[in-house]
């Protein structure tokens, strides 16, 4: 049974030649051969097995943030986990499916009067993506609250402790072992709902004030260099507002490259390289991209 027949037989929704610009926060990216939307664990496993059996490469997609997809798209199947979502509570522990948006998880924790998630309010990603890159902001990181992760590794579902996930700055073991994050367990702490809400309001206000949320982007473009800030270095090099095609270094925050309208992945990559070269020439600092590049 070929890949499409398998998906139809299992009632798994999919489309072909789906433009990935519709599924990334950058609003950039060519088509994929198959865009598949499993909604439960059995479907996720079935899609992965079907892809392997038919020798079709696959890519796991969350909310499409922190990602730059090639103008030529992605070969094979993109498995979107956007419909693989849900949160359950057991005391102070939350079990969260990997496709759950961080915004939904933050709201759930607020309603449960559980603190620890408010740092991630406003980050446009999913739980799976947040664990994959150890997302963090304003003094909080996923590793601070993570208990364990269930992941599909080499065809088996395995539970990894937070320590086994090897979380560090924008890194985890999942970048190396090819594992698919299925769910995560977080340990939070009781906290007054009013205090949580106040902190969330403060953090979102800071984001709106300092970040170019009015334009599509992939979030922070560069990792934080040692003892410095990428945005500061880029601004000191006079690159605020510098553009290549439809891609521009944000005049609001130089650590962001934004899509001003019609930007291509090629525009973004050329701009990133120019910024890196300029900063190295003027500051002797090698900037490292935080954005993940995927596609043909």
Catalytic residues, which ones? 170, 220, 290
179: DSSP letter = P
On the 0-12 / 13-18 / 19+ scale of CB atoms within 10 A, 88 is: exposed
Q: CA 294, CA 296: separation in Å to the nearest integer?
A: 7
| φ/ψ bin of 111: left (φ > 0), alpha (ψ from -120 to 50), beta (otherwise) | alpha
Q: Could you tell me the two tokens for 278?
A: 């300029």
Q: Could you tell me the two tokens for 223?
A: 């990792």
Helix (H) or strand (E) holding 293: strand 292-294
Residue 124: count of CB within 10 angstroms of its CB: 18
3-class DSSP assignment, residue 111: helix
Q: Which of 126, 122, 141, 130 is nearest to 205 (CA)?
A: 122
- Long-range contacts made by residues 87-93, C-beta under 8 angstroms, separation at least 24? 89/114, 92/187, 92/188, 92/189, 92/190, 93/147, 93/185, 93/186, 93/187, 93/188
Q: Give the list of residues 6+ apart from residue 175 with CB closer than 8 angstroms, or none.
A: 132, 133
3-class DSSP assignment, residue 249: strand
Pairing of strands 136-137, 93-97: unpaired
Q: Which of 118, 97, 105 is nearest to 44 (CA)?
A: 97
């Amino acid at each position: 049974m070929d890949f499409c027949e398998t998906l139809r037989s299992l009632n798994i929704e999919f489309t072909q030649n789906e433009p990935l610009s519709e599924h990334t926060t950058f609003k950039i990216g060519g088509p994929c051969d198959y865009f598949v939307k499993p909604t439960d664990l059995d479907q996720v496993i079935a899609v992965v097995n079907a892809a392997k059996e038919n020798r079709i490469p696959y890519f796991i997609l969350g909310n499409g943030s922190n990602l730059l997809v090639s103008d030529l798209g992605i070969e094979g199947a993109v498995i979107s986990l956007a419909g693989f979502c849900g949160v359950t509570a057991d005391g102070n522990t939350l079990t969260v499916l990997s496709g759950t948006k961080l915004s939904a998880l933050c709201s759930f924790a607020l309603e449960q009067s559980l603190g620890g998630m408010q740092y991630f309010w406003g980050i446009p990603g999913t739980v799976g993506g947040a664990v994959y890159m150890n997302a963090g902001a304003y003094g909080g990181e996923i590793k601070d609250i993570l208990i364990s992760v269930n992941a599909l590794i080499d065809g088996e579902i395995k539970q990894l402790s937070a320590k086994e996930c090897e979380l560090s700055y924008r890194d985890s073991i999942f970048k190396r072992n090819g594992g698919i994050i299925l769910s995560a367990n977080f340990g939070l702490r009781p906290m007054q709902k009013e205090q949580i809400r106040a902190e969330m309001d403060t953090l979102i206000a800071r984001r709106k004030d300092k970040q170019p949320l009015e334009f599509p982007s992939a979030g922070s473009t560069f990792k934080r260099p040692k003892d410095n800030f990428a945005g500061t270095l880029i601004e000191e090099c006079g690159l605020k507002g510098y553009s290549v095609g439809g891609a521009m270094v944000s005049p609001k925050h130089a650590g962001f490259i934004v899509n001003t309208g019609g930007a291509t992945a090629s525009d973004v990559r050329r701009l990133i390289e120019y910024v890196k070269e300029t900063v190295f020439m003027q500051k002797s600092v090698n900037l490292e991209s935080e954005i993940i590049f995927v596609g043909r």
